[in-house]
Amino acid sequence: DSGVTQTPKHLITATGQRVTLRCSPRSGDLSVYWYQQSLDQGLQFLIQYYNGEERAKGNILERFSAQQFPDLHSELNLSSLELGDSALYFCASSVSGVITDTQYFGPGTRLTVL
Amino acid sequence: GQQVMQIPQYQHVQEGEDFTTYCNSSTTLSNIQWYKQRPGGHPVFLIQLVKSGEVKKQKRLTFQFGEAKKNSSLHITATQTTDVGTYFCAPLERNSGGSNYKLTFGKGTLLTVNP
């Protein structure tokens, strides 16, 4: 158990819909990272937040957005869902905003778009 | 961005045999991390390598960073069934358009161990 929690564990929805994935970092960690893992693309970095502010952006689509709240939990919003968005979405956290910090991954949310 | 190749994609071994996965880059890496993901699980940080020629050991696992910092390897001695999983290398890559960095994960090597 890494100490990072993600909800829900599974999510099944239809194309065109919008969903919100939630992540609570380890106690004391200020940074949250979001990753997408699919069979064809592997593990892709989406976005990083540090203490409420966006720190780095990766391969995140415009249909996706994220935020980190004052209590440091984070949400990833996925809209206008397509079949290709079906994937495992991981959240990770680290102590500071420094990229070389150890990242602790949560158990993931499996999204299925039908 | 930099191109990172991880080989092999799959490796099946008999318990007790050794295993090695390689991560090769077309550009010089500043830093590389290794992660393990068990089937159905999440990535777990194993190690970080920073210095040219660095070698680090964790029990039966040996991690190396090449002298030119363009490649890295993970070697497992005498594999056990608990070693099953996908091993990822994750070099740091500069984020396009900014001064920030991001981890770029390789495709990973899936290791299966026959008891």
- Tens digit of pLDDT for each residue in A35-83? 999 988 889 999 999 999 999 888 899 999 999 999 999 999 999 999 9
Neighbours of B95 (CB within 10 A): 19
pLDDT value of residue B100: 67
* Residue whose structure tokens are 């290791």: B111
CA distance linking residue B65 with residue B104, whole number of Å: 16
CA distance linking residue A13 with residue A11, whole number of Å: 6
Q: What is the DSSP letter of A83?
A: G
Chain A residues with beta carbon closer than 8 angstroms to that of B108: 42-43
Q: Where are the alpha helices (DSSP H) in B18-112?
A: none
Q: Do B102 and A106 touch (CB under 8 A)?
A: no
Q: Exposed, middle or buried, A66 (CB in 10 Å: 0-12/13-18/19+)? A: buried
Element (H, E) at A54: strand A53-57
- Interface membership of A65 toward B (CB under 8 Å): no
pLDDT value of residue B44: 96
- From the list B103, B106, B107, which residue is nearest A45 (CB)? B103
pLDDT value of residue A41: 80
pLDDT value of residue B92: 85
Chain B residues with beta carbon closer than 8 angstroms to that of A1: none
CA distance linking residue B105 with residue B48, whole number of Å: 13
Q: Residue A91 is encoded by which pair of tokens?
A: 């959240």
pLDDT value of residue A10: 97
Give percent above pLDDT 90 in chain A.
85
Distance (Å) from the alpha carbon of A96 to chain B's nearest alpha carbon? 14
pLDDT value of residue B99: 54
Give percent above pLDDT 70 in chain A.
100
pLDDT value of residue A77: 98
State yes or no: pLDDT of A14 exceeds 80.
yes
Q: Are A102 and A92 in contact (CB under 8 A)?
A: no
Q: Which residues in chain B show pLDDT less than 50?
A: none
pLDDT value of residue B90: 93
pLDDT value of residue A42: 86
- The amino acid that residue A84 corresponds to is G
CA distance linking residue B7 with residue A92, whole number of Å: 25
Q: What is the mean pLDDT of residues A83-97?
A: 95
